[in-house]
Amino acid sequence: MEVLSEFLTDTGFALMTYQHAIMIAIGIVFICLAIIKDYEPLLLVPIGFGAIVGNIPSSETMLLGVYDPGSVLYYLYFGVSKGIYPPLIFLGIGAQEGVRMGIEGEDLENSVSAVDFLKKISKGQKPYVGKKVAVIGGGFTAIDSARSALRLGAEEVFILYRRTREEMPSSDEEISDAESEGVKIMYLVCPQEIIGNGKVEKIRMLNYVLGDPDDSNRRRPVEVPGTEFSLDIDLVIGAVSQSVNIETGQDLTLTRWKTLDVDEATGQTNIGGVYAGGDCAQGPQNVISAIADGKKSATAIDQFLSGDDSFLVDDAEKVMADKDKVLQRVGDKSRAWRPQLDEVDPTRRIKDFEQHITDLTMAQAVAEAQRCLACGCGAGCEICKDICKMFAWSMDAQGRVELDQDKCSACGMCIWRCPSDNIEMIQTGTENLVN
């Protein structure tokens, strides 16, 4: 417990900021595993907090979530009281390096990667932006960089993207927020060269059109000869992708994408007792995927240490509800719109990194929860099917319970026994109907 206390103090858990909460999410799974199962944490050293904290500006709550994937580095050595097990290590080192754009002039002064740019802001520094900034890319990192540049004093910020808005990896909400703040997005353009005498002065661009879909199922951008133009720019931020920095001397097997090669079911690497998850194993993804990897490896470690006495289990695959049947049931109800949250005016919010969207009030939170359509239980207990004396309940090919209304006698047994209260009886004309 003393180790846990020191860890929470050192990582600023007491401050309970959004960044810290997510930063420790993977680690907490392992810490709880150690405490509950009476494993003795021999060593717990958080090293380099990764993109979730290291690369995300302090305004990330304002920027609506953490979009650079779960990149937390924890070396977690677990043993048991008897000391009969070897150390176990979980690596979550993330994708910490920006991918180069591969164009001439990229090494000029004031040409930087988005990863480095955001990392400096997160550390409280104020990197140079100048008057005009060009951000190359269309993902969440590009949007974050552009909006951050505005808050650092840039007069004009351009996002240069080689496809159209429909193909941008970023969300519509992010794109709309950026545009409302004054970010100018230029579509179907791609940088050809960064021009300058020692430092960035211009960027030469070329127009594109969309051709046939590529491997990502997005239409491939095709150059349009003779459409070159240039922009006067003070700072170029490359946000085309991120890569994993793994030293080959560590004997860890890498994939052809230079990520750690891990077992999909457990997260174990080619070295026994060494597990990995998040960006370093999947490539740039998202926080949810990284946390899922942490839970998966925690389950594998528990099973390794405890054998038959392990208690962590993998999350069962969720079954999707039949949307057509849900709409048939609730289609006559009036539309319940999500609560509208108040936002700070864009001309004001670009002056700082403070949160610009209000939190849900208690009434709004309750109203939002009441929008649930109760699509289906998804629990898979099948109690309703087992107790029905009329055999009205059955399982479809997708593993979902469904009711044969012609067989149902409306006895109410399934309603009374459902552990999740997901079944109700509604009046239809002169008859009752179980739903």
DSSP strands (E only) in 255-337: 274-276
Give the separation between CA 167 and CA 164, rounded to whole angstroms: 6
Q: What is the C-alpha to C-alpha distance for residues 347 and 130, in angstroms, rounded to an integer? A: 19
Residue with tokens 């206390």: 5
DSSP assignments along 88-142, one per residue: -EEE-----EEPP---BTTTSBTEEEHHHHHHHHHTT------SEEEEE--SHHH
Question: Would you state the pLDDT for residue 8?
Answer: 33
pLDDT at 348: 93
The one-letter amino acid at 4: L
- Cβ contact 166:266 at 8 Å: no
Place of tokens 């969207």: 357
Sequential DSSP letters for 144-179? HHHHHHHHTT-SEEEEEESS-GGG-SS-HHHHHHHH
> Which fold is adopted by the domain 100-240?
FAD/NAD(P)-binding domain (3.50.50)
Report yes or no: 154 and 131 within 8 Å, Cβ to Cβ: yes
Q: What is the pTM of this model?
A: 0.70
Could you tell me the two tokens for 353? 């990194």
How far is 177 from 31, CA to CA, in rounded Å?
A: 38
Closest residue by Cα to residue 421 from 379, 389, 363, 364: 379
Return the pLDDT at 79. 37
3-state secondary structure of 8: helix
Quick: pLDDT tens for 387-406: 999 999 988 776 778 888 88
Phi and psi torsions of 136, nearest 5°: -100, 115
Positions of the chain with pLDDT under 70: 1-87, 247-250, 316-319, 329, 374, 376-380, 398, 427-435
pLDDT in tens, 327-370: 776 777 788 888 888 899 999 999 999 988 889 999 999 999 88
Beta-sheet pairing, 431-434 with 97-98? unpaired
Q: Where in the chain are the domains?
A: 2-95+244-309, 100-240, 323-434
Residue type present at position 114 = A
Amino acid at 170: S
DSSP label at residue 404: -
pLDDT at 396: 77
